[in-house]
Amino acid sequence: MMWASRKNAGKGKSLKTAARKILQFLLMAGLLLTAAVSFAQKTERHTILQKMEADGAKVGFLGHAYGMDGWIVADPEGGMSYVYTTAEGGLMSGMLFAPDGSLETMKQIKDYNGRMSSGTQAAMAGAEKSAQKSEKLYAEVERAGWVALGESAAPYLYVFINVGCDHCQEFWKGLEASVKAGSLQVRLVPYGALELNRDGAAALLSAEHPEEAWRAYVGGDKAALGKDKIKDGAYLKVDENTALTKNWKLPGPPFTLYRRPADGVVTAIAGQPENTMLLLAEMLK
């Protein structure tokens, strides 16, 4: 009887072990299924969002909160909006607030920026080591030679460029709609030692209407920034801008510097952002 009891007990343990393994398998399968559903939520677009994208808008997934998926939408005209969709197919536009009254949308934008930080390559190239250094750099940039493109009352950012830099021109194209809409001002800081960049920078700084000249140049009219447009003193400003980039060891163009409207923190982006919407989300309030 003792042997039989032990044998039965052994069978019971085996059954319990098998049951635990089955339960673990089901739990793991459930986790995988949940992950798959979560991924689908992040990538699947509402039909209205799909139409927005087809019409030229850029749509990015902000996150899931309180039963809704959040999306950031940048329309072709430079406008920025936030949209929320439900599992039942509903869609609403506006900001989302948490139960405690805090703005959930702003938290989602911050998290989104963190997820995409490797793409934007935010950096200060040594100047971000301390707030004092970043403020000093910002002050020097404000005194540098630059031209303003856009409305004077709009929030602005500085962009160091080489006139002949393809990435700089592509970056500008991503910001142009917002500048045209009057919601953003771009202050170009041209520099460069090579003849093409130095001459073009001097012509841009000499232009009576720099925005028109820059648009024409990017559009293919290279004569818009020809040597015949250069005025006295322009080369000196270009050389000072070039010296500034070397003294601060700034990375190659484009290099963007701006003060965040939300908290006043000086921020920089090295290179052409992979996702311009992150930058616009911070600037266009």
Alpha carbon dihedral 148, 258, 226, 169, in 10-degree steps, equals -120
What distance in Å separates the CA atoms of residue 30 and residue 42, rounded to the nearest whole number? Answer: 18
Enumerate domains of the chain plus CATH numbers: 47-115 (3.10.450), 121-283 (3.40.30.10)
Phi, psi of 232 (to 5 degrees): -60, 135
Q: Are 73 and 59 spatial neighbours (Cβ–Cβ below 8 Å)?
A: yes
pLDDT at 43: 52
Q: Which residues pair with 80 in a beta bridge?
A: 74
Choose among 40, 81, 93: nearest CA to 64. 40
Q: Is the pTM here over 0.85, yes or no?
A: no
- The tens digit of pLDDT for each residue in 192-240 reads 999 999 999 999 999 999 999 999 999 999 999 999 999 999 999 999 9
Query: Average pLDDT of 158-180?
Result: 93
Query: Average pLDDT of 14-37?
Result: 42
pLDDT at 239: 96
Q: Is the peptide bond before 76 cis (omega within 30 degrees of 0)?
A: no
52-61, 122-131, 216-225: which has the minimum mean pLDDT? Answer: 122-131
pLDDT at 115: 59
What distance in Å separates the CA atoms of residue 236 and residue 240, rounded to the nearest whole number? Answer: 6
Q: Strands, E, within 28-108: which ranges?
A: 58-65, 68-74, 80-86, 91-93
What distance in Å separates the CA atoms of residue 56 and residue 46, rounded to the nearest whole number? Answer: 16
